[in-house]
Amino acid sequence: MLRDITLGQYYPADSVIHKLDPRVKLFSTMIYIISLFCFRGVAALAIATVFLITVIKLSKVPFKFMVKGLKAIMILMLITAVFNLFLTPGEALVSVWRFTITKEGVTSAVLMAIRLTYLILGTSIMTLTTTPNQLTDGLEKALMPLSKIGVPVHAIAMMMSIALRFIPILIEETDKIMKAQMARGADFESGNLLKKVKSMIPLLVPLFVSAFRRADDLAMAMEARCYNGGEGRTKMKPLRYEGRDRLSYLIMWLYLALIILCRIFVPWPQ
């Protein structure tokens, strides 16, 4: 399960998506997330589906590799679908004890499951096709106007980059600790929910110790190299927009406009 988490991982490939400016991918991801919570009609859902499939094909990242990231949120998706299914008022279809499944609840549950699935797949494309260094440079460049009012843009971008880079490292470390504890007789599978939570304590303590040790080593390494972020630092590869980046911006605006138009003129079937 832990190795199925793809957030923060980079998949090297020679694709158009990989070559895009990281600022374009950050902006496009934000627009895509907004569009997911804007669409409501069948036409908008079809447009979002075609758009997502096209981007996945262009990224040259294997679809099976991307789907692995969905396994880690199956519980969340199930809980969200159940809440929408039973707690949405409307026309009753089936009654189970004190709970009632409504027509609107079924529609809401299906729509929310689709949105979460598309959200994970869409955001995974950005991290799978962009290195942590590129994300840092893109985020810092995009937020640079905020530095005029005293916002530490470089520090924020660096913290986010380090956090993304540590995700796969901590996942691997957790997997190693779990296997070591299981070899000593630890049981993380059987028992009720309370017992499973208690069994995680021997796992969390060494994981936090390892995380703090890695953070301390990283801080010492940065100090030893006289790292001083912020104003005056130069980039080995300065970010510059190219023709494909401008075209990508145009495509994203057209995509968002289509989603909004479909929401207005083609409503979700009642």
CB 208 within 8 Å of CB 183? no
Q: What per-residue confidence (pLDDT) applies to 232?
A: 67
| Lowest-confidence region among 95-99, 200-204, 211-215 | 95-99
CA distances from 59 to 24, 117, 127, 233 (A): 14, 18, 11, 31
Q: Where are the domains of the chain?
A: 2-265
What average pLDDT does the chain have?
Answer: 81
Task: Report the pLDDT value the prediction gives residue 55, as an integer from 0 to 100.
Answer: 93
pLDDT: which is higher, 19 or 144: 19
pLDDT of residue 225: 83
Strands 99-102 and 92-96: antiparallel
pLDDT at 270: 46
pTM over 0.85: no
Condensed to tens digits (0 to 9), the pLDDT of residues 76-98 reads 778 888 887 777 777 777 777 77
Q: List the Cα angle 92/38/52 in 5-degree steps.
A: 105
Give the 3-state secondary structure of residue 185. coil
Closest CA to 215 of 163, 179, 150: 163
- CA dihedral (4, 38, 31, 55) positive or negative: positive
> How do residues 216-251 score in pLDDT, each as one tens digit?
888 898 889 887 766 667 777 778 889 999 999 999
